[in-house]
Structure 1
Amino acid sequence: MFNRATRIHTAVDTYDCSSGDSKRFVVPTSIEAPRNAGNELVEDELPEETKRKILRDMGLQGLQDVISIITYTPSSQYSISRPAKGNPLLTAVSSWLQTVPPDLLVSLDITTTSLLSAFPATYSIYKPMLLLPAHTFRPWPWTSLISALQHTSSLQTLYSALAAATSVTHVALNAPIPLQSKSHDSLESENILRRPTSLTALHGSFGPLPCPNLQYAPQPHDFAAAFWVSTRQNNIHQIWAPLYTMFSRGNVSEKARLLDLPSVTDAVRQGEETEHGCTAVDLYAGIGYFAFSYKKAGATQVLCWELNPWSVEGLRRGASLNGWSSYIINPSGNGKAEEEAAPVGRETDFLVFQESNEFAIGRIQKLRNRVPPIRHVNCGLLPSSRGSWATAVRAADPLLGGWVHLHENIGIGDIEGKRLEIVREVQEIFEEEVRIGRGTYDAGDERMVKLEHVEKVKTYAPGVMHCVLDIYIPPKEV
């Protein structure tokens, strides 16, 4: 979509895009300009209706008032005659295009230049898989060519070439994780397991395809037959099955932040000084996204809650690869016996409950005197982790206090107001806990939760920011 042959540049001289004192920029794209009834290119500023459609297709409709769309004809200096130097994908695509019959391209009114320009330069490698961006084949020249080649072996030749170029065995097309998913009766329900239902496998065997039994009650032989990938971030290994489990590359900065977060390192240090250790809790553990960071930072033990059995297996495999131990408790199996026999404290690194975190506080109360003090609780669900806030506050050690880390999607312009609202709500939960513990919360009680920081992790959608609120929870018992 973005024309990498031309750089983003300021809008001066060439285009009349001035807007007061604000500097504006031109972002060249490979989007085909509309034509009029005489098949001539529409020049200059596009009609508002056309502009709205283009921005809507790109998910940028909210920026319509600040974006201008103009047409231009690339000069020869901007034409692409060869792929970008050093990019293995573009090199592979360029070579493959030489095998496409020229007559076919002419009949489709597309060129190798337009195809190369529209092909994304970015990609992800999760060994042994190449993951292409979701928009890879959405631009017009590619949709047209793929439609023409869909009943031939040519596309498989392309996918094979992409795999060879990046030294992998599998290729897949990424897709957003839907918040809703369809059940077997075609009814939509919340995608609680955050399954990647729209990921498209292009090359290589990805193992058994998802079905209800495999998704919710996989057996050891199902795990063995599945396709697994891995990556390493912040020197921490993570493993997952791409057909069954999501992976968010954009959370890497938050994972790194936890490793050196003063409140985390202080809790670890205090635990070492008292020889009591410290425990972290992850109420949405997944494959160990943030749980692994707490362990890497020095937490004695991490208690995890995760519904998706495939994520639990990924966490187990990842922990093992990092040299950590884990113990899985599955209430649908022999849960009671497993819980009674569960190793705690320094006996195991990760104690994982394969169940909803709505049961977490009951489990924690039973374990309270058997595990090191709980000093940190992570609530990493988007678009909102609100459903776990009460559990998080209650989980923090009643004598030492602790910190909760609440993940929320917040409008960029609403962050200030939203953070105050969240702190008030957490304070109310805290006061209720104090009342439960001693029967009252005195008006003169000065124990207040404290917002220490709001971390802006990444842009979740246009105008929406993934934020993490670090909130200190004081001791509930004095």
Structure 2
Amino acid sequence: MNHGDNGHPFLAVHRLQGERIHALLKSNNVLHSHISPVEHEGDFIAFPLLDVDFSASLKNDISAITNLPVHVIKRIPHVMDEVDPHTRLQSVVKDWLTRLVSQKQSPEIQPFIDALPKKWERLGELVLFPSGSFSQEIWTAFSSEDRSELWRDIASVLNVTSIGIQSPVANDAVRSSQATVLRGTSLVKFIDHGIHYEFDAAKVMFSSGNVTERRRIGAMDMSGETVVDAFAGVGYYSFPMLIKAGATHVHACEMNPPSIDGLVRGAEANGIEDRITVHQGNNQESLPKLKRIADRCHLGLLPSSEAAWGLCLQALKSEGGWLHVHMNVKEEEISDWKRKTIEQFQSLSDRMELGFTIRGDHLERVKWYAPYVRHVVYDIECRPERS
């Protein structure tokens, strides 16, 4: 394989093949975990490699997906330092503290280095550290000018233009973000598995931890379907259902103005504005206007979407369809919750005389939401009794 002499080895493939190639490289232990994939020449994405001496079977698998022999290895110079980003963060903070602490006769700095965040969320050019990061008194002991220099250096070593700190989600109807921006802007644009998102991260929550569920929903076959997304946000699931799953049209219900702005911007960026109808305001008012139009309803609100269950049942066509119900449930109570959820939907259908037989299909454990509490999604099929 010809890969030149400069930079790090990357495998560049068309972004439509990116998800399959990424999984293949990862499962074969040749994907470099400390260097980020990069966009390459427009429609391509390049994955960093630990080794370019692939096995014959891996070469054949890649060629089968890309329809190309594996000679598209490229060395892309100066993409990112190969050092672990956590090490880079610790190094730049340690240098900064060492210089300033020596001037101020402050305490030993190692405990503060050890307390640095071990994880963070990256949204395009913005890194958001977890709530409570950089909260010890030592950080406020320095001038705003000194801290600005630190934020600048952290952004540089993490290869972004903006950094901030996430705050606990607001206790309001729309679960608003309360992030504080330390440097740059909270307005973000990024591509997640070929899908464009644009929104204000200081006003809107976006959980990167739900990526597996977005992929799962996008992998379904929704060809020809009309979908109602009862809690659309900035298009977390609306966009994958349209772009990946092939839904014909999505009716997206959303009440948070910043989320609506992101939803509209994202639809335009993805070129799907003619296939999505945004219903602004409380879905208790918008969902009743969508009766009998949907093949599928998505109920993606945490900790519970229960307030919209009956309205989404009514939104299904007379021939029935599917519900995707998100909920936070204690692990030991999942089986009992599944049974009670089916009973509750059946009771709602009977009371509203919809004539559906309710059947639980698949339950997806998305992630841990809190100790002992799972974010789950229950796929539920609703069909006329005669079916």
- Asked if these proteins are the same fold (TM beyond 0.5), I'd say yes
CA contact (8 A) 2:357 2:384 kept: no
Q: Secondary structure of 1:302's partner?
A: strand
Give the one of 297, 314, 331 matched to 1:377: 297
- State the match for 1:233 in structure 2: 192
Structure 1 position 466, deviation (Å): 0.7
In 1, Cα distance between equivalents of 2:341 and 2:248: 29
Matches within 5 A, 1:58-457: 85-87=83-85, 88-102=88-102, 104=104, 107-111=105-109, 113-138=110-135, 143-149=136-142, 151-178=143-170, 180=171, 191-197=172-178, 199-204=179-184, 206=185, 227-261=186-220, 265=221, 267-268=222-223, 277-296=224-243, 297-325=245-273, 348-365=274-291, 374-399=294-319, 401-433=320-352, 435=353, 448-457=357-366
- State the match for 1:329 in structure 2: none
Structure 1 position 414, deviation (Å): 0.6
Structure 1 position 152, deviation (Å): 4.8
CA contact (8 A) 2:357 2:385 kept: no
CA contact (8 A) 1:458 1:467 kept: yes
In 1, Cα distance between equivalents of 2:92 and 2:219: 41
Q: Secondary structure of 2:323's partner?
A: strand
Which runs of at least 4 in structure 1 moved beyond 6 Å after TM superposition?
none
Cα distance change on mapping 1:250 and 1:86 into 2, 3 Å: closer
User: What stretches of structure 2 of length at least 5 have no aligned partner?
Assistant: 1-81
Q: Which amino acid aligns with 1:246?
A: M
CA contact (8 A) 2:296 2:322 kept: yes
Q: Secondary structure of 2:119's partner?
A: coil
CA contact (8 A) 1:361 1:391 kept: yes
Q: Point out the structure with the larger strand share.
A: 2
Q: Which amino acid aligns with 2:120?
A: Y
Cα distance change on mapping 1:432 and 1:450 into 2, 3 Å: same
Cα distance change on mapping 1:321 and 1:164 into 2, 3 Å: same
Q: Secondary structure of 1:97's partner?
A: helix
Q: Secondary structure of 2:357's partner?
A: coil
Q: Deviations over 1:426-467 (max 9, x none)?
A: 01111223x3x6xxx7xxxxx621000111111111111111
In 1, Cα distance between equivalents of 2:299 and 2:239: 14
Structure 1 position 299, deviation (Å): 0.4
Q: TM-score by structure 1 length? A: 0.60
* Rg larger in structure: 1
Q: Which amino acid aligns with 2:177?
A: P
CA contact (8 A) 1:305 1:352 kept: yes
Q: Deviations over 1:55-78 (max 9, x none)?
A: xxxxxxxxxxxxxxxxxxxxxxxx
In 1, Cα distance between equivalents of 2:248 and 2:271: 14
Q: Secondary structure of 1:145's partner?
A: helix
Q: Secondary structure of 1:196's partner?
A: coil
Structure 1 position 103, deviation (Å): 5.2
In 2, Cα distance between equivalents of 1:230 and 1:323: 15
Q: Secondary structure of 2:99's partner?
A: coil
Q: CA RMSD in A?
A: 2.1
Q: Which amino acid aligns with 1:96?
A: W
In 2, Cα distance between equivalents of 1:110 and 1:302: 56
In 1, Cα distance between equivalents of 2:373 and 2:95: 40
Identical amino acids, percent of aligned pairs: 29
In 1, Cα distance between equivalents of 2:332 and 2:254: 32
Structure 1 position 409, deviation (Å): 0.7
Q: Which amino acid aligns with 2:139?
A: I
Q: Which amino acid aligns with 1:135?
A: G
Structure 1 position 295, deviation (Å): 0.3
Q: Secondary structure of 1:449's partner?
A: strand
Q: Which amino acid aligns with 1:115?
A: F
Q: How many residues align?
A: 303
- State the match for 1:341 in structure 2: none
Q: Which amino acid aligns with 2:280?
A: Q
User: What stretches of structure 1 of length at least 5 have no aligned partner?
Assistant: 1-83, 181-190, 207-226, 269-276, 326-347, 442-446
Q: Which amino acid aligns with 1:354?
A: Q
Q: Which amino acid aligns with 1:250?
A: G
CA contact (8 A) 1:360 1:391 kept: no
CA contact (8 A) 2:321 2:381 kept: yes
Q: Which amino acid aligns with 2:229?
A: D
Which stretch shifts more, 90-99 or 355-364? Answer: 90-99
CA contact (8 A) 2:198 2:262 kept: yes
In 2, Cα distance between equivalents of 1:152 and 1:388: 47
In 2, Cα distance between equivalents of 1:477 and 1:245: 44
Structure 1 position 148, deviation (Å): 2.0
Q: Secondary structure of 1:100's partner?
A: helix
In 2, Cα distance between equivalents of 1:152 and 1:352: 42
Q: Which amino acid aligns with 1:397?
A: K
